[in-house]
Amino acid sequence: MSLHSFRHFLICLTVSFLCICITGCSFSFPEESKAAVSSALPASSSFAVTFIDVGQGDSSLIQCDGKYMLIDGGLPDQSQKIYALLKKRNITHLDYIVCTHAHSDHVGGLAGALQIASCDQAFSNTLTYSSKVYTKFVKQLQEHDVPLSIPSVGDVYSLGSASFEILGPTDREASMDENDQSLVLRIQYGSTYFLFTGDAEQEEQQLLMYNSYDSLKANVLKAAHHGSSNGASAAWIKAVQPEITVISCGKNNAYGHPHEKTLDLLKKAGSAVYRTDLQGDITVTSDGSTVSALPAKNADADVWQPGEKGTDSESS
């Protein structure tokens, strides 16, 4: 190679290197900028989720900047508990009520909320369901002028400085189990995420992983189906990568929730676990970048002890 050719080679190499650098910068800058904007929160902002101990059922109260969302309400006999909690916190208005699916251990106690709080919008996975409890819920919504609708996958709603996206069900075939038609949503607050799964079992989880894998990652996971054996798989836990998992189930429940297999998966994945059956209400707060959990009691309970082996319900 002549000196001229060598110099030409060096210039080409330098230009190529600069092109790579410039191109790299032009791609990375908007991403960093986007991240900075999404995690910018007002100084007075606050965010907390209370996973309410409703026995064998689910109920979560989310608050952000004076806005409230109630996801599920436990069995009908938990109505009084929901009513009392809202009263104690002086909450007279809910921005959203979400019924993940029509089973009574999710929809039953929502009646208590409607006795004390007005509500802008109710979401459910269905408008009708052939059960007394669900029919009563729909009637109560009508009596209180609360619109009920089925949200679509990809819909995004705001809750103060937080927002939540509907992720599932991605498929809704009549032949599918009601659990696998649960509404699944992920809340974002700053750069932290909370995933609510209702009773979604592995069929729905497979569809979620196929359709929206990158949207499943969450700092906090509400364990699907009360920590049952069909509420988690290794692939599911790998997709979510939860730092904190909250299991909502009843003390000494007849279903053997939470199941040993699910607890083992969470332990291996390094997730902290909190349980309503052992620790009462679990409050998880976020400052926009980190999350922390505070159980109402028994902070040092043996959360890794599975439920008594019995009939692990496929439907509750």
> Contact letters (x/-) for Zn ion, 188-217, by CB under 5 A?
-----------x------------------
What residues between 93 and 112 interact with Zn ion by CB under 5 A? 105
- For the bound state, the minimum distance from the C-beta of residue 225 to Zn ion, rounded and expressed in Å, comes to 6
- For the bound state, the minimum distance from the C-beta of residue 201 to Zn ion, rounded and expressed in Å, comes to 10
According to the 3-state scheme, what is the secondary structure of 159-203? ECCEEEEEEECCCCCCCCCHHHHCCEEEEEECCEEEEECCCCCHH
In order of 84, 157, 208, 211, the CA distances from 153 in angstroms are 33, 12, 10, 10
Is residue 72 involved in binding Zn ion (CB under 5 A)? no
Beta strands 156-159; 118-124: pairing state: unpaired
**177 burial type by CB count under 10 A (0-12 exposed, 13-18 middle, 19+ buried):** middle
Nearer to Zn ion, 95 or 105 (CB): 105
- For the bound state, the minimum distance from the C-beta of residue 159 to Zn ion, rounded and expressed in Å, comes to 23
- For the bound state, the minimum distance from the C-beta of residue 196 to Zn ion, rounded and expressed in Å, comes to 13
Nearer to Zn ion, 105 or 180 (CB): 105
Nearer to Zn ion, 136 or 217 (CB): 136
- DSSP element (H, E) containing 275: strand 272-275
Nearer to Zn ion, 45 or 104 (CB): 104
Judged by CB under 5 A, the number of residues near Zn ion is 2
Task: Check the CA dihedral 294-298-302-305 and report its sign.
Answer: negative
> Contact letters (x/-) for Zn ion, 238-277, by CB under 5 A?
----------------------------------------
Task: Check the CA dihedral 175-178-180-183 and report its sign.
Answer: positive
Site residues for Zn ion per CB under 5 A: 105, 199
